[in-house]
Chains A and B, each alone.
Chain A
Amino acid sequence: MAARKPRMNRLARTLQSSIGSKFLMSVTGILLLLFVIAHMLGNLQVFAGPDQLNAYAAKLQSLGPLLWVVRLGLLAIFVVHIGAAIRVTNSNRAARPVAYVYPGSVQSTFAGRTMMMSGLIVLAFLIYHVLHFTVGTTNPDHFHLVDETGRHDVYSMVVMGFSQWPIALVYVVANILVGVHISHGASSAFQTLGVTHPRLAFLKQGFGPGIATLIVVGNLSMPLACLFGLVQLPA
């Protein structure tokens, strides 16, 4: 086997190290956070009525190959994020084979200690979410609707879905966990990326819980509004 270029060796070693794994996790985490924010802002158009939301959906669909580039890119980001998380979790479990008899913690948070658990539950939810709203397997009854202009009736699909309380409940619980995950992850990412400037200290402290709160409020508003009839099917 031919020897690889030394630069690649160092870079590969760096990315496989403890800090490298954390680097990959934080960069992909920030990209996923940006996606979550964009996704939420797009969906909030449900409050602007059927025409607005269906037009937005049709526009996304019209992107064609570009849409697939984004989807595959997201998938790749998820794979790296989860791969790094598995690596970190395995190393951390191995690093303390015998637990303390008297467990204690001074300033770690519930969110921080349960990242793997919240992440796995969110992953399970994501699979359901894609089957529900993107592929249409779980609820074909409200997936194949068409509005009066012939566009996919995303608005009615969303309202009919969230009007069923079990579905709304799944979305509410999952999005709270998304918030818990982000509240630790978003701040943690900037520490891992080496942000030290005092002016940027907020990124490592309040930013995570703050952005997580906004995302939870935004994402919960949609299923709850549909469930309680604030957002209704077009007359």
Chain B
Amino acid sequence: MELTLHVWRQDGPDSPGRMEIYKADDVSSDMSFLEMLDVVNERLLEEGKEPIAFDHDCREGICGTCSLMINGVAHGPEEGTTVCQLHMRKFKDGDSIYIEPWRARAFPILRDLVVDRGAFDRIIEAGGYVSVATGNAPDANTIPVNRDESEMAMDAAACIGCGACVASCPNGSAMLFVAAKVAHLGHLPQGQPERQKRVLAMVEQMDKEGFGYCTNHYECEAVCPKEIPRKFIAEMNRDYLKAGMAAE
């Protein structure tokens, strides 16, 4: 396959960026999208040029590190897939592909296609945990967990924190991420003691980081590689409003 790549290049956080055009002319349809970029980078290195910086780690679709906006869609055209699991057979010979970094004030660009997603870590630090006694592991099944609730918690816990929700949201909102993290603990008995405190603290941190407000476009749900449903956002809205209107 022969492709024309339009790639965002930016030398550092404060440098101005620009779109640059690269020809990729020996792409196999069996390559993953990141392998295609590896090949392009090999050639750039041979030519003595700076390779394109992009985030990647497990390349198995489970770590949440890769993060590319491909033709205006986070993680590209395949549903429920991270960009490392996207294969070139999804594209046609002769295609032009626009590759951009996640764009949000809360995700500053470090270099080229790499953004700093530390805002997500700070939201987790604010309340995305349960406090447990250390020491010996408790016996299994000491706390009964309702099966439906545990399934729901698992659905939410599938979030890998990649940030595609923020990148795809017309408002740069992090609601789907925060909602998933609030829900996966909120649906378990272990998460109940800190439930109110958690949702208040995480939403407060989310606002502080400069993410936008959700206006229910559901673009996040459409691009989420783990297909986290929008209902968790509704749940978080309810949890937050309930906690915020309760007596302290």
When A100-B103, A101-B8, A109-B217 are in contact, do A17 and B204 touch as well, CB less than 8 Å? yes
- Assess the B212–A92 pair: CB atoms within 8 A: yes
- Residues of chain B lying within 8 A (CB to CB) of residue A87: 213
User: Contact partner of A113 among B19, B71, B217, B233, CB < 8 A?
Assistant: B217
Majority DSSP secondary structure for residues of B touching A: mixed
Q: Which residues, 24 to 72 on A, are CB-close (under 8 Å) to B?
A: none
User: Contact partner of B171 among A96, A104, A109, A187, CB < 8 A?
Assistant: A96
- Assess the B213–A91 pair: CB atoms within 8 A: yes
Chain B 206-248 interface 0/1 with A at a Cβ cutoff of 8 Å (1 = within): 1100111111111101110000001101111111110011011
* Bound form: Cα–Cα A204–B235 in Å: 13
| CB of B170 within 8 Å of the partner chain | yes
- The bracket for how many chain B residues form the interface is 35 or more
- Assess the A195–B103 pair: CB atoms within 8 A: no
Majority DSSP secondary structure for residues of A touching B: helix
- The bracket for how many chain A residues form the interface is 35 or more
Instruction: Give the residue name and chain of the A residue nearest to B211 (CB).
Output: A95
* Bound form: Cα–Cα A196–B229 in Å: 11
Extra 19 A-B pairs, beta carbons < 8 Å, given A10-B200, A101-B8, A104-B69: A9-B248, A14-B240, A17-B204, A88-B213, A91-B212, A92-B170, A95-B211, A96-B105, A96-B172, A107-B217, A107-B219, A107-B222, A108-B218, A112-B216, A188-B215, A188-B216, A191-B233, A194-B237, A194-B239
* Bound form: Cα–Cα A98–B238 in Å: 32
- Residues of chain B lying within 8 A (CB to CB) of residue A106: 73, 168, 219, 222-223
When A96-B104, A103-B72, A107-B222 are in contact, do A196 and B212 touch as well, CB less than 8 Å? no
Instruction: Give the residue name and chain of the A residue nearest to B238 (CB).
Output: A194
| CB of A18 within 8 Å of the partner chain | yes
Q: How far is the CB of A187 from chain B (nearest CB, A)?
A: 8
Q: Which residues, 8 to 22 on A, are CB-close (under 8 Å) to B?
A: 9-11, 13-15, 17-22
User: Contact partner of B244 among A6, A13, A188, A196, CB < 8 A?
Assistant: A13
- Residues of chain B lying within 8 A (CB to CB) of residue A188: 215-216
Instruction: Give the residue name and chain of the B residue nearest to A109 (CB).
Output: B217
Q: Which residues, 184 to 202 on A, are CB-close (under 8 Å) to B?
A: 184, 187-188, 191-196
